[in-house]
Structure 1
């Protein structure tokens, strides 16, 4: 039995769209590229052919990964959650106790985390430190840059 992967509905939709694009657009294109390169003659020294075959392998591997991930997805809609404790899907506002710098992010599945979009993986050190905690709690998190202490300012489920 494979382990379930927590995921938001938006994250699942993005993975499904990527899989559709790979299967319907990129894979057929690379198959055409292989055929064209093969028509150029001796494939043993044909860089176009080898590059296209390598790309095909990467696309097939990504499709396989996406299929497995989607099949194990446990879709959790954060807008249907509530509570005073941090859990998957929560949008959490924290302040660095030392610098006062505030950050807001949402805890999402590993395949949808993107710090630029304000999402972090539920498996990250920061998220693991926050899970189960409440507004006002101080949380010490060991991060790659060293230990930091954060105060939880807000918890929301949108």
Structure 2
């Protein structure tokens, strides 16, 4: 029997998914159904682009609902209480700099469901996060990335 995939996430990330699910199930789903009804009233469905567009959107919305429900049903809330304060783990914010002299970068390592690199949140499945998790403040670490190895120094762990 295949083992169910778990989705590590912070409490905030879980709340964000729950809010998105609520919006999709209440207002978004209703809006799409309304668009389908209006498009049906235009007649011949075989050449009705509004109908086709609304049906595609409905398919996307229903797929997203199923995905979020799956993630929430198998969510693993991150608990860093038993991890050393200076150890990098999912849920922690880290600052590092690429050696020899790049500018410092700060990211929070989150579960894949919460990842948003533009907001400074990187997936625990990303090469950088995989290379840093388990290391400690002050260490120099070599991270394997698709673009080649990267040497970094860990400057801060929160």
Correspondence 1:43-122 to 2 at 5 A: 43-77=45-79, 80=81, 82-83=83-84, 84-122=86-124
SS in 1 for 2:22: helix
Cα shift readout 1:25-68 (whole Å, capped 9, x = no counterpart):
11111111111111111111111111101110010001000000
Structure 1: unaligned runs, 5 residues or longer: none
What are the ranges of 5 or more consecutive residues in structure 2 without an aligned counterpart? none
**Change over 3 Å in CA distance of 1:81–1:108 after alignment to 2:** farther
The aligned runs of 1:35-50 (5 Å cut-off) are 35-50=37-52
Aligned residues: 155
Instruction: Give runs of ≥4 in structure 1 deviating > 6 Å.
Output: none
SS at match of 2:157: strand
